[in-house]
Amino acid sequence: MGANAARLLVDRIGQRDRRTAQITLSPTLVVRRTTAAPRLS
C-alpha cells in the first residue's frame, strides 16, 4: 500500500493536470496466533 501511495503521489505532483487515479486492493487475512479464535479453557 505504501509503495502504491508513494507512486501515485509522485505521479500526481509531476502531472497536476492528470486525472486522479484509483487503485482497488484485495486484502487477505493471514491467520496467526494473534488473529486465531480465542481458546476455551
- The answer to the question of residue 30 being in a domain is no
Q: What are the Cα distances from residue 37, in Å, to 3, 5, 28, 34?
A: 32, 33, 17, 9
- The answer to the question of residue 34 being in a domain is no
Per-residue confidence band for 18, with pLDDT thresholds at 50, 70 and 90: confident
Task: Quote the pLDDT of residue 17.
Answer: 85
Counting the structural domains of the chain, the total is 1
- The answer to the question of residue 8 being in a domain is yes
Are the C-beta atoms of residues 19 and 26 closer than 8 Å to each other? Answer: no
Domain range for residue 7?
A: 1-25
Per-residue confidence band for 22, with pLDDT thresholds at 50, 70 and 90: confident
- The answer to the question of residue 39 being in a domain is no
The CA distance from 23 to 41, in Å, is 44
Per-residue confidence band for 6, with pLDDT thresholds at 50, 70 and 90: very high
How confident is the model over 10-19, as a mean pLDDT? 86
- The answer to the question of residue 32 being in a domain is no
Best CA proximity match to 4, nearest among 23, 27, 18, 26: 23
> Full-prediction pTM beyond 0.85?
no
